[in-house]
Structure 1
């Protein structure tokens, strides 16, 4: 799978470094390339994704997703592939500096350095510019900011709220109901493993984003216990 990832970087580079491709088709192609890679991984691991709820038809929304594993991105890209969604992941600068950083950089992800004021200003300008130029663009973010090893929702970092508020974006709450770190270690499975992913109603109140998300997750867990 690592070998497949390195091959994928070469595919990303063809679009990332293309001197003449405009922003909109570039993001569309990079999204399709990420999705193609993700579909291949899902098939290799023998995982089936069960979608509960609806993916919004319209674009220019922010998807707020819980985070337990690197596999979360793979699962979500598999869903986005089925619904022809185009967008980018927001990731900490540390990920771009890690040994797999080229995968994130060249696949069209956008980095943010929360400790650098100048970097933050550049980041928000880039988001606003991209949303203006790409009319079918979406933003994907893990608002907890780090992988969560607990059964609860961690306190949100400020990024999701600020991005949504600054660009007047509705927020789609998403809950991956699985401990995918463990799933990843046990895969590939002989028998297909089903992973449930819940999509909630759009959240328009940016000030209560975290509270509304936690209420959504509470309802998801409550429905499973009935």
Structure 2
């Protein structure tokens, strides 16, 4: 019976992805600011989350200043981390993403074509630096950017080593870093399994960490500060459930 449930969930996810993804991909040609794509993404993910029996709890929305752009940094252990952020973030958003994601049907196309995705070529240092400089300009222009500083999913739920690019970006843009911690998603998509389980996810948004006045030599100290803030936000019970 459980296998039937898993198959049914995957079919629903596929249907929602084709429907909403087609809409987002088509609209992306006319939605260069990404506002409509953000709206589509929220509805797309809301249908997926409800169909999978996943509940998302959120704390810390009071830490956002609606009139000020930010760089949001969060842990990464499942695709449902993205769901938790997209459904609770009170602003429109842009993702810093590796350029390979642009080739994923529907999701990747919409991400790249609409400008919601800031695509970074990690295989080419000069292009990567140019992408981050362009991202800094967009942030100074009012864009809010989401970064997974680990660079990839954690297989255990424990924080992995942080890459430096996002911190370089935040210092360049001179905007605060908002630390966010997602707990429970590893139990929703267990390791070495294609299952999608029902369950509870919690996301905590921490207090903004200022970067005003910081320079490149302060990058490592900022990295430590952000890491400590993300680590402090974990819900131990939910993390144990996925361990």
Could you state the TM-score of these two structures normalised by the residue count of structure 2? 0.76
C-alpha distance after superposition, 1:57-97 (max 9, x if no partner): 333101101001112111111112xx2x1111111123224
Counterpart in the other structure of 1:32: 39
Gaps of 5+ in 2: 1-12, 212-217, 239-243
- The within-5 A match list for 1:126-165 is 126-133=134-141, 135=142, 137-165=143-171
The structure 2 residue matched to 1:115, chosen from 102, 114, 123, is: 123
CA-atom RMSD, angstroms?
2.6
Aligned length: 211
DSSP-derived class of the 2:123 partner: coil
Show the counterpart of 2:29. Answer: 17
- 1:83-122 superposed matches below 5 A: 83=90, 85-98=91-104, 101-106=108-113, 108-122=116-130
Q: Could you say which residue in structure 1 is the equivalent of 2:82?
A: 73
TM-score when normalising by structure 1: 0.81
CA distance 1:127–1:46, change in 2 (3 Å): same
Return the alpha-carbon distance in structure 1 between the equivalents of residues 129 and 51 of structure 2. 40
Q: Residue by residue, what CA displacement relative to the aligned partner does 1:181-207 show, whole Å, maximum 9, x if unpaired? A: 2298243x3xxx321111111112562
Q: Does 1:185 align with 2:195?
A: yes
Give, in whole Å, the separation in 2 of the partners of 1:220 and 1:132: 28
**Distance change in 2, residues 1:223/1:151 (3 Å):** closer
Q: What is the Cα deviation at residue 161 of structure 1?
A: 0.4
Instruction: Supply the distance in 2 between the matched residues of 1:13 and 1:97 (Cα, whole angstroms).
Output: 12
Q: In 1, Cα distance between the equivalents of 2:140 and 2:228? A: 32
In structure 2, what is the equivalent of residue 61 of structure 1?
70
2-side partners of 1:221 and 1:8: how far apart?
32
Deviations 1:18-71 (A, max 9, x none): 2xx5x5xx3221111111111111111122111122350333101101001112
Q: Which residue of 1 aligns with 2:18?
A: 6
Corresponding position of 1:211? 224
Q: Which residue of 2 aligns with 1:198?
A: 204
Structure of greater relative contact order (alpha carbons < 8 Å, 6+ residues apart): 1
